[in-house]
Amino acid sequence: MSEIHPHSVSVQYKGKDHSILPQFVRRFRGGWAARLLGVPAVLLLFVFPVAKLVWLSFQSDAGITLAHYRELIHQERFWITLQSTVTVVLGSTALSLLLGTVFAWFVAYTDIGRKRMLHPAILLCFILPSYVLTLSWSSFIGPQGWVSQLLQWINPGLTPWSMYSMGGIIFVMGIHHFPLVYMLTLDVFRKIPRDLEWAARAGGLGKFKTFCRITLPLALPGLTAGGLLVFLASLDNFGIPAFLGTPVNISVLSTLIYEEIVGFGPSAFARGASLSVLLGTAAVLGSLLQWMLLRKSHAPDAVQPDSVPRYSLGKFRKPVSAALWAFLLLITAVPVSSMISLSLKRAYGLGLTASNLTFDNYRYILFENPRVWTSIQNSLILSLVTMLVCLAAGSLFAYLRVRKPSPWTKAAEIAASVPYTLPGIVFALSMILVWMEPIPGWNPGIYGTMSILFIAYICRFLILQIRTGVTAFMQIDASIEEAARVSGAGIRRRWTAVLLPLVLPGLLTGGILVFLMSLTELTVSALLYASGSQTIGVTIFSFEQAGDTLYSTALSSLIVALIGAGGAVLLLIRKWNSRQGEGGHSHEY
């Protein structure tokens, strides 16, 4: 699943004490009510699941034990999996770093054309759910795909390499995550003062040496942070190795945990828990490292990004722009088109001729299989409710966090970031363990229904809303609220007339992000769904597992259309937001 890591949104808090808190907040502040409700809720939702998971991995009938870990160490399969995980994570991180840096450098420093359009095109790779991107590539390169046909045409003996391999996983993961590196490094590049580079050039260094000695060292913290972010995303990713690795016996940690749990049931919970502890630890360490790096690299925050091109490409401008565009088209648009063409086939294994074209697969998934409809409805309801709950609770918390920083809220924020920092599969397993029997002997009947998905989604994505909310509230100086208060506006009026109009676009951006993430979620749902609560991602995954590629590609093609619509809305809000930002001060009330 695509992840926009909370750590990529760096936030600093001003520790000023504003005494203009709205009344209810003041009543809550330090208030017993908030803590009485808040602390147990935070503990139950964010801390307890992880504690239970860790506990289970050390637990046996005979008390505390390392037996589960010992069992792992003796399994050849575990070591093979570990090796694959390291290879996949390192390989895809390297690829993402390379692509992300190259694109960021061109967009930040050169005068290539259509930068405004290039930006969303780069993000597209990341916005598409990983399993959709995977299906696109496997149908593009597969024996029925366009590449294969091209090669056949050149020479009947030629066949494309298989996407169902280590290389395939690394490649798709690399292109899926490179926009993360791009987003982080773009700003870093723009903030490097150009006078330093000029000085180096004036001192007689060549272009390349200047880059190596000036630009690269200054960009390094940003690059490392980007690398770590991709590292975390790769550890977390389940869709790509599940679609491309499982069919050919390549497991990574996330898919191994999944296989254990769905293949063996409760008897594998302890094994799954110990695997999860290992995977979770790696993710938490990565997050900590990243957080420390970002704190260190806050220094140049005062520097204004400088987006004036520094290098003119001259006569190369057109070819370079064309090359970048061609590459972007090749990694998304072309495979997606190939997937769509596959979804129009009558039977798998037939050539692509007019007589073999049909809309039957679409008819089947839309009209003949009620379960697909159920899954679309489920996903829509899930993402809508998750968005609304996160919008309300996340934004309110963000407000408290900004206006009234305290150790309590800080701790709560850290707790809320846990479900997102942990790889999805680990988080899902911890949810099963908690909600199956929260208290021994008591089964609330949440596991196996939609409820557990609601809880899981909200817990996992709340932090995204909190971070965007914090950023939105930070941009509004407390004096504005104060002015409204002094002018006699009551709390309701202060919110409706002053605060909300200013922060709503920012909050909605977060909300839409949560919505999109929930809509296409696969990892958590794959472990938690039951009959009647399947989601879109799970349905595509099930089709693919059962060999119904024609249906999985058809449904994926529909998702691409849905996401396109969602992305368009997001861009509109961004536009509206930037207009608001410009005219923010001349608002008339």
Q: Does 533 bind another protein (CB under 8 A)?
A: yes
Q: State the DSSP code for 305.
A: P
Q: Does 496 bind another protein (CB under 8 A)?
A: yes
CB 341 within 8 A of CB 357: no
Q: Does 580 bind another protein (CB under 8 A)?
A: no
Residue 438: φ, ψ to 5°: -55, -45
**Sign of CA pseudo-dihedral 511, 517, 520, 526:** negative
CA distance 224 to 222: 5
Q: How far is the CB of 21 from another protein (least distance, A)?
A: 14
Q: Which is nearer to another protein, 138 or 471 (CB)?
A: 138
Q: Does 445 bind another protein (CB under 8 A)?
A: yes
Q: Does 71 bind another protein (CB under 8 A)?
A: no
Q: Does 458 bind another protein (CB under 8 A)?
A: yes
CA dist 480 → 53, 403, 476, 494, 587 (Å): 46, 13, 7, 10, 12
CA distance 228 to 230: 5
Q: Which residue in the set 13, 17, 24, 303 belongs to the binding site for another protein (CB under 8 A)?
A: 24
Q: Does 491 bind another protein (CB under 8 A)?
A: yes
Q: Which residue in the set 204, 265, 488, 583 belongs to the binding site for another protein (CB under 8 A)?
A: 265
Q: Does 502 bind another protein (CB under 8 A)?
A: no
Question: With left for phi above 0 and alpha for psi between -120 and 50, is residue 164 left, alpha or beta?
Answer: beta
Q: Does 566 bind another protein (CB under 8 A)?
A: no
Q: What is the distance of C-alpha 100 from the center of its chain?
A: 16
Q: How far is the CB of 263 from another protein (least distance, A)?
A: 4
Q: Does 450 bind another protein (CB under 8 A)?
A: yes
Q: How far is the CB of 318 from another protein (least distance, A)?
A: 41
Q: Which residue in the set 1, 21, 45, 508 belongs to the binding site for another protein (CB under 8 A)?
A: 45
Identify the burial level of 301 via C-beta atoms within 10 angstroms of its C-beta, where 0-12 means exposed, 13-18 middle and 19 or more buried: exposed
- Of 247, 227, 285, the C-alpha closest to 104 is 227
Q: Which residue in the set 447, 480, 489, 567 belongs to the binding site for another protein (CB under 8 A)?
A: 447
Q: Which is nearer to another protein, 32 or 208 (CB)?
A: 32
The size of the chain, in residues, is 589
Q: How far is the CB of 6 from another protein (least distance, A)?
A: 19
Number of Cβ within 10 Å of residue 585's Cβ equals: 7
Q: How far is the CB of 271 from another protein (least distance, A)?
A: 12
CB 538 within 8 A of CB 375: yes
Q: Which residue in the set 82, 406, 495, 584 belongs to the binding site for another protein (CB under 8 A)?
A: 495
Q: Which residue in the set 15, 204, 370, 407 belongs to the binding site for another protein (CB under 8 A)?
A: 370
CA distance 363 to 558: 12
Q: Which is nearer to another protein, 268 or 320 (CB)?
A: 268
Q: Does 125 bind another protein (CB under 8 A)?
A: no
CA distance 513 to 563: 11
CA distance 15 to 29: 15
442 DSSP β-pair partners: 439
Alpha helices in 475-587 (DSSP H): 478-486, 491-493, 500-519, 523-528, 536-545, 549-583
Q: What is the DSSP string of 91-155?
A: HHHHHHHHHHHHHHHHHHHB--S-HHHHHHHHHHHHHS-HHHHHHHHHHHHSTTSHHHHHHHHH-
Q: Does 357 bind another protein (CB under 8 A)?
A: no
Q: Which residue in the set 57, 430, 525, 549 belongs to the binding site for another protein (CB under 8 A)?
A: 549
With contacts defined by CB under 8 A, name the span among 46-54, 191-199, 283-291, 365-373 that binds another protein: 365-373
CB 85 within 8 A of CB 169: no
CA distance 547 to 483: 64
Identify residues 187-226 at the interface with another protein (CB under 8 A): none
Q: Does 504 bind another protein (CB under 8 A)?
A: yes
For another protein (CB under 8 A), the number of binding residues is 84
Q: Does 151 bind another protein (CB under 8 A)?
A: no
Q: Which is nearer to another protein, 24 or 316 (CB)?
A: 24
Q: Which residue in the set 14, 35, 41, 579 belongs to the binding site for another protein (CB under 8 A)?
A: 41
With contacts defined by CB under 8 A, name the span among 112-120, 201-209, 227-235, 367-375 that binds another protein: 367-375
Q: Does 522 bind another protein (CB under 8 A)?
A: no
Q: How far is the CB of 101 from another protein (least distance, A)?
A: 36
Q: Does 55 bind another protein (CB under 8 A)?
A: no
Q: Does 368 bind another protein (CB under 8 A)?
A: yes
Identify residues 371-400 at the interface with another protein (CB under 8 A): 371, 381-382, 385, 388-389, 392-393, 395-397
- Of 394, 390, 460, 381, the C-alpha closest to 425 is 460
Q: How far is the CB of 147 from another protein (least distance, A)?
A: 14
Q: Does 438 bind another protein (CB under 8 A)?
A: no
CA distance 432 to 443: 12
Q: Which is nearer to another protein, 234 or 246 (CB)?
A: 246
Q: State the DSSP code for 475.
A: T
Q: Does 547 bind another protein (CB under 8 A)?
A: yes
Identify residues 159-188 at the interface with another protein (CB under 8 A): 162
Q: Which is nearer to another protein, 2 or 518 (CB)?
A: 518
Q: Does 348 bind another protein (CB under 8 A)?
A: yes
